[in-house]
Structure 1
Amino acid sequence: MSQTEESTKKKTSRTMKVLKVLGILALTGIVLTTVLVIYLYATSLPLADNDRNSRLFDINGEVIATFSSSGKDSTPVKLDQIAPELKEATIAVEDRKFYEHYGFDIVGVGRAILVNIKEMSMAQGASTLTQQLARNLYLTHEKTWSRKIKEAVYTAQLEMNFTKDEILQMYLNEIYYGHGAYGIEAASQLYFGKSAADLTLAESSLLAGVPKGPTYYSPYNNMKKAKDRQKIVLSAMVDTGDITQSEADTAYNEMLDIKPQSERKTNEEAPYFRDYIRNVVVNELGIDSSRLDHGGLNIYSTIDMRMQQAAEDTVARIMDPKSQLQVGLVSIDPRDGYVKAMVGGTNYLTSQYNHALASNRQPASSFKPIMYLTAIESKQLTSVSLFESKPTVFHYDNDRKTYEPSNFGEKYLGWIDMRKAIAVSDNIYAVTTLMQIGYEPVIAMAHKLGITSSLSGVPSLALGTSPVSVFEMASAYSVLANEGQRNAPIAVLKITDAADRIVYKVPEQASEQVVDPASAYVITNLLESVFDTGGTAHRVAGKLARPVAGKTGTTSSDAWMVGYTPELATAVWVGYDEGKEITTTESRRAAPIFAEYTEKALENVPPKVFPVPEGVTSVYVDPTTGKLAGNYCENRRLEVFLRGTEPAEYCTEHYAEPEQDSTEQDIERERDDTWWDHFKNWWTK
Structure 2
Amino acid sequence: MTLFGLLTAAGGGYVLLRYGALPAGSVPQPTQLLGADGTVIAQLEGGVNRRSVRLADISPWLIKATLAVEDRRFYEHRGVDVRGLARAAWTDVRHLSKRQGASTLTQQLARNLYLSHERTWKRKLKEAWYAARLEQTYTKDEILELYLNQIYYGHGAYGAEAASRLYFGKSAKELTPAESALLAGIPKGPSYYSPHRHPKESRQRRQTVLQVMKDTGVISSATADEASHTAVSVRPLPEEPEGTAPYFADYVLKIAESKLGIDERLLHDGGLVIRTTLDADMQRKAEEAIRDGLPPKSELQGALIAIDPRNGYIKAMVGGRSYRGNQYNRVFASTRQPGSSFKPIVYAAALERRIVTPATRFRSEPTIFYYDNDRKIYQPSNYADRYFRTEIGMRQAIAASDNIFAVNTIMQTGAESVIAMARRLGIGSPLKAVPSLALGTFPISPFEMASAFSAFANGGFKYTPLAVLSIRDSKGNTLYEAHPRGEQVISPALAFVTTQLLESVFQKGGTAYRVSRLLARPVAGKTGTTDSDAWTVGYTPELATAVWLGYDKGRAITSGEAHRAAPIFANFTESALSGSASPGLFTMPEGVVTALIDPVTGLLATDGCPNPVLETFLSGTEPSASCYVHGSAKEKTGGTASQKSGAWWKKLRHWWN
Q: TM-score range by the shorter chain?
A: 0.5 to 0.7
Whether 2:568 is the aligned partner of 1:582: answer no
Measured in 2, the distance between the counterparts of 1:660 and 1:634 equals: 11
AA in 2 matched with 1:612: M
AA in 1 matched with 2:248: F
Question: 2:428 corresponds to which residue?
Answer: 452
Question: 1:654 corresponds to which residue?
Answer: 630
Measured in 1, the distance between the counterparts of 2:167 and 2:330 equals: 23
Whether 2:599 is the aligned partner of 1:615: answer no
Match of 2:452 among 476, 485, 492: 476
Correspondence 1:422-433 to 2 at 5 A: 422-433=398-409
Measured in 1, the distance between the counterparts of 2:167 and 2:545 equals: 34
Do the aligned residues in 2 keep the contact of 1:265 with 1:348 (CA within 8 Å)? no
Whether 2:63 is the aligned partner of 1:63: answer no
Q: 1:309 to 1:296 in 2, by over 3 A?
A: same
Q: RMSD of the TM alignment (CA)?
A: 3.7
Match of 1:492 among 450, 465, 468: 468
Do the aligned residues in 1 keep the contact of 2:371 with 2:377 (CA within 8 Å)? yes
State the TM-score, normalized to the length of structure 2: 0.64
Do the aligned residues in 1 keep the contact of 2:355 with 2:413 (CA within 8 Å)? yes
Question: 2:90 corresponds to which residue?
Answer: none
Q: 1:289 to 1:631 in 2, by over 3 A?
A: same
Match of 2:529 among 554, 558, 561: 554
AA in 1 matched with 2:588: V
Correspondence 1:273-672 to 2 at 5 A: 273-413=248-388, 414-507=390-483, 509=485, 511-605=486-580, 606-655=582-631
Instruction: Determine helix, strand or coil for the equivalent of 1:628.
Output: coil
Structure 1: gaps (5+ residues): 1-42, 75-115, 121-137, 139-144, 155-173, 181-260, 662-679
Measured in 2, the distance between the counterparts of 1:608 and 1:524 equals: 13
AA in 2 matched with 1:623: P
Q: 1:384 to 1:63 in 2, by over 3 A?
A: same
Measured in 2, the distance between the counterparts of 1:345 and 1:339 equals: 17
Instruction: Determine helix, strand or coil for the equivalent of 2:391.
Output: strand
AA in 2 matched with 1:580: R
Runs of 4+ in 1 over 4 A off after TM superposition: 43-49, 176-180, 656-661
Instruction: Determine helix, strand or coil for the equivalent of 1:345.
Output: coil
Do the aligned residues in 1 keep the contact of 2:599 with 2:612 (CA within 8 Å)? yes
Do the aligned residues in 2 keep the contact of 1:563 with 1:569 (CA within 8 Å)? yes
Structure 2: gaps (5+ residues): 1-21, 49-56, 61-112, 114-140, 151-161, 169-235, 638-642, 649-657
Do the aligned residues in 2 keep the contact of 1:407 with 1:428 (CA within 8 Å)? yes
Instruction: Determine helix, strand or coil for the equivalent of 1:603.
Output: coil
AA in 2 matched with 1:368: K
**Matched residues, percent identical?**
50
Deviations 1:277-305 (A, max 9, x none): 11111111122222212222211110000
Do the aligned residues in 2 keep the contact of 1:333 with 1:339 (CA within 8 Å)? yes
Question: 1:229 corresponds to which residue?
Answer: none
Deviations 1:441-476 (A, max 9, x none): 111111111111111111110000111110000000
Measured in 2, the distance between the counterparts of 1:371 and 1:615 equals: 21
Deviations 1:588-609 (A, max 9, x none): 1111110000011100111122
AA in 1 matched with 2:326: S
Do the aligned residues in 2 keep the contact of 1:265 with 1:347 (CA within 8 Å)? no
Q: 1:514 to 1:271 in 2, by over 3 A?
A: same
State the TM-score, normalized to the length of structure 1: 0.62
Deviations 1:89-134 (A, max 9, x none): xxxxxxxxxxxxxxxxxxxxxxxxxxx9xxx9xxxxxxxxxxxxxx
1:73 Cα shift? 9.4
Instruction: Determine helix, strand or coil for the equivalent of 1:627.
Output: coil
Instruction: Determine helix, strand or coil for the equivalent of 2:332.
Output: coil
Deviations 1:168-220 (A, max 9, x none): xxxxxx9x99999xxxxxxxxxxxxxxxxxxxxxxxxxxxxxxxxxxxxxxxx
Measured in 2, the distance between the counterparts of 1:357 and 1:498 equals: 31
1:64 Cα shift? 1.1
Measured in 2, the distance between the counterparts of 1:417 and 1:331 equals: 31
Q: 1:282 to 1:403 in 2, by over 3 A?
A: same
AA in 2 matched with 1:495: I
1:403 Cα shift? 1.1
1:67 Cα shift? 2.6
Measured in 2, the distance between the counterparts of 1:265 and 1:390 equals: 55
Measured in 2, the distance between the counterparts of 1:497 and 1:287 equals: 11
Instruction: Determine helix, strand or coil for the equivalent of 2:548.
Output: strand
1:322 Cα shift? 1.7
Measured in 2, the distance between the counterparts of 1:310 and 1:267 equals: 16
1:656 Cα shift? 7.2
Do the aligned residues in 1 keep the contact of 2:464 with 2:484 (CA within 8 Å)? no
Do the aligned residues in 2 keep the contact of 1:270 with 1:308 (CA within 8 Å)? yes
1:534 Cα shift? 1.2
1:320 Cα shift? 2.6
Deviations 1:68-102 (A, max 9, x none): 3xxx599xxxxxxxxxxxxxxxxxxxxxxxxxxxx
Do the aligned residues in 2 keep the contact of 1:296 with 1:497 (CA within 8 Å)? yes
Measured in 2, the distance between the counterparts of 1:291 and 1:498 equals: 10
Do the aligned residues in 2 keep the contact of 1:387 with 1:416 (CA within 8 Å)? yes
Measured in 2, the distance between the counterparts of 1:277 and 1:635 equals: 52
Q: 1:265 to 1:656 in 2, by over 3 A?
A: farther
Deviations 1:474-502 (A, max 9, x none): 00000000001111111111111111111
Measured in 2, the distance between the counterparts of 1:358 and 1:604 equals: 31
1:655 Cα shift? 3.3
Do the aligned residues in 1 keep the contact of 2:306 with 2:315 (CA within 8 Å)? yes
1:358 Cα shift? 1.1
Do the aligned residues in 2 keep the contact of 1:304 with 1:340 (CA within 8 Å)? yes
Q: 1:379 to 1:659 in 2, by over 3 A?
A: closer
AA in 1 matched with 2:469: L
1:630 Cα shift? 1.0
Measured in 2, the distance between the counterparts of 1:556 and 1:419 equals: 25
AA in 1 matched with 2:438: A
Do the aligned residues in 1 keep the contact of 2:466 with 2:484 (CA within 8 Å)? no
Do the aligned residues in 1 keep the contact of 2:455 with 2:461 (CA within 8 Å)? yes
